[in-house]
Amino acid sequence: MTNVPTFQNYIDGEWCASLTGATFDNLNPADTRDVVGRFQASSQDDAHAAVRAAAVAFPAWKRQTPGARAKILLDAAAYLEQNAARFGEELTREEGKQKALAKDEFMRAAQTLRYYAIEAQSYGGETFPSDDAASLVYTVREPLGVVTVISPWNFPVSIPARKIAPALICGNTVVFKPASDAPLSGLRLAEAFVEAGIPKGVLNFVTGSASAVGPVLVGAREVRAVSFTGSTSAGEQIHRAASLSTRTQMELGGKNPLIVLDAGDIDLAVDLTIKGGFSLAGQACTGTSRVLVAREIRAAFVERLAAKTAALKVGSGMQPDIDIGPLATAGQLRTVLDYIETGKREATLVCGGEQLSDGDFAHGYFVTPTIFTDVPRDARIAREEIFGPVIAVIDVDDYDDAIAVANDSEYGLAAALVTRDAKLMHRFANDIEAGTVKINRTTTGNLVNAPFGGLKRSSTATFRESGRDGLEFYLQTKTVYRGI
């Protein structure tokens, strides 16, 4: 504990301690004896200082040229790329994902910054014909003002990058609060902008509990928009708390299905299930959590899935040959174990479902990948987001039955179909109620240049993230009538 580094907030161009003088520790989920860092337990006063700094900085940043803003994004991207290996190891220590995936996340964040540095150069307004020959009518696209970014622990770099980059390039100023369970990776993202020379107040970074700083970051009169990724319950609470003049963009939970109907597709389906359901220890909002399998092939599918699942290696993300790392927090471990116990009462446990606590696992949050079959359609493990390496296999009669089961959910984030039938591919894209549709692909993953978002309780029905659509949330339209 004597060598634990202490990290600070970044407010109005300065790294600074919280006004509370209090801190909190972030622990390695693979070995909780390893304290990754000590962070500021900020208060509402700290949050107000960050919001005020962003408000003061906004007029000058709004007037800054797109090229000057783009240069900062490009320089920040270069900084992330140059340090991706080191930062990736920190991410593995604080959140648990494998080193290769952690490094890739920093590289993806850099890719996102580069994309928006270029894409935003082409947005603009329109001109409109008028019956008055002596007038010119046109629109201009303008930034909103102060934007709050609140990000989760499962992708603590790539998710805030896809929020902060379009916000800044459009001329907004930002207050960024990372998840308290993975704050160091968010700090490295903020650090990249600082190293790139971002003007003071344009980007502010505040750590602390949501209960302490959240009311200000959502409710302060200067805040014009809030972009949040996290649980559905938290997102809905934020959405209700925001004022009428504050935009909200909520990317929330999912209960994502993968549909398998043909015996010829079993091997591919097994591989996609494992990749989509167990990568990141099942802690992805787009992760595969329901597999809807035709009854006649269910036995063969489960046999192959169970065999491959049992062979997966669980361990610290620092080890080069593991398949599944730890759960990210003690709370998430408790939640997953509770759902596993519920599943044992509701369905048939085929494999996994154990907490690993001996030897190298003694001080971490490890659970073996878990498969349930004979899952009733109304079971909790079939309907509620677990956010862990737990898959429910549900029997279906045919395609229409599978679609009915898949759509019978309060969520609509991602869904996938495994098939070689071109007609079914087309039908599925039209029939499924999900914002992200995959065919012969995992439910996880999205491109930085394509829109991302869900339906129903998976997202607010407003603006998509990523791609060109990701710019729209951070812009407003002004209509100008000018006499000639």
Within 230-294, residue ranges assigned H as helices are 232-241, 266-278
Say yes or no: 308 and 396 in one domain.
yes
Does residue 443 share a domain with residue 397? yes
Same domain, 313 and 435: yes
Token output for 426? 């087309």
330 within some domain:
yes
Sequence-separated (6 or more) residues with CB below 8 Å from residue 362? none
477 and 434 fall within a common domain: no
Q: Considering the domain boundaries, does residue 393 fall inside one?
A: yes
Q: Can you tell me which residue has the tokens 């389906």? A: 269
CA pair distance 292, 418, nearest whole angstrom: 11
Among residues 94, 251, 385, 472, which one is catalytic? 251
Phi/psi at 481 (nearest 5 deg)?
-110, 120
**How many CB atoms are closer than 10 A to CB 92?**
26
Residues 451 and 470: beta-carbon distance below 8 Å? yes
Residue 379 contacts by C-beta under 8 Å, 6 or more apart in sequence? 343, 346, 347, 392
**Which residues on adjacent β-strands are paired with residue 411?**
456
Query: Both 15 and 80 in a single domain?
Result: yes
pTM for the model: 0.95
CATH number of the domain encompassing residue 240:
3.40.605.10
Query: Closest Cα partner for 279 from 458, 81, 100, 88?
Result: 100
Read off the pLDDT of residues 85-103 as tens digits, 9 standing for 90 and up: 999 999 999 999 999 999 9
Within a domain: residue 193?
A: yes
d(CA 311, CA 313): 6
Residues 186, 159 contacting (CB under 8 angstroms): no
First to last CA, the chain: 71
Residue 64 included in any domain: yes
User: Quick check: is 44 in a domain?
Assistant: yes
Domain count, the chain: 2
- Domain ranges, residue 302: 256-449
Model pLDDT, residue 2: 59
Q: What is the pLDDT of residue 264?
A: 84
Cα separation of 300 and 38, whole Å? 50
74 and 218 co-located in one domain: yes
Residues of the chain with pLDDT under 50: none
Is residue 354 flagged as an active site residue? no
Which amino acid is residue 441, in one-letter code?
R
Q: How many residues belong to the chain?
A: 484
* Residues 40 and 185 placed together within one structural domain of the fold: yes
Residue 57 placed within a domain: yes
Determine, yes or no, domain membership for 4: no
The torsion region of residue 94 among left (phi > 0), alpha (psi -120 to 50) and beta comes to: alpha
2 in any annotated domain: no
My answer on whether 191 and 304 are in the same domain is no
For 264-322, how does the pLDDT look when each residue is reduced to its tens digit (9 = 90+)? 899 999 999 999 999 999 999 999 999 999 999 999 999 999 999 999 999 999 998 99
- List, edge to edge, every strand of the sheet that includes 223-229: 14-16, 9-11, 203-205, 173-177, 146-150, 223-229, 247-251
CATH number (domain holding residue 382): 3.40.309.10
Claim to verify: residue 156 and residue 209 sit in the same structural domain:
yes
Same domain, 139 and 183: yes
pLDDT of residue 1: 52
Same domain, 291 and 177: no
232 in the same domain as 336: no
Instruction: List pLDDT tens digits, range 240-262.
Output: 888 888 999 999 999 999 999 99
Which residues, other chains included, contact 414 with Cβ-Cβ below 8 Å and sequence gap of 6+? 254, 256, 286, 434, 435, 436, 437, 438, 443, 444, 454
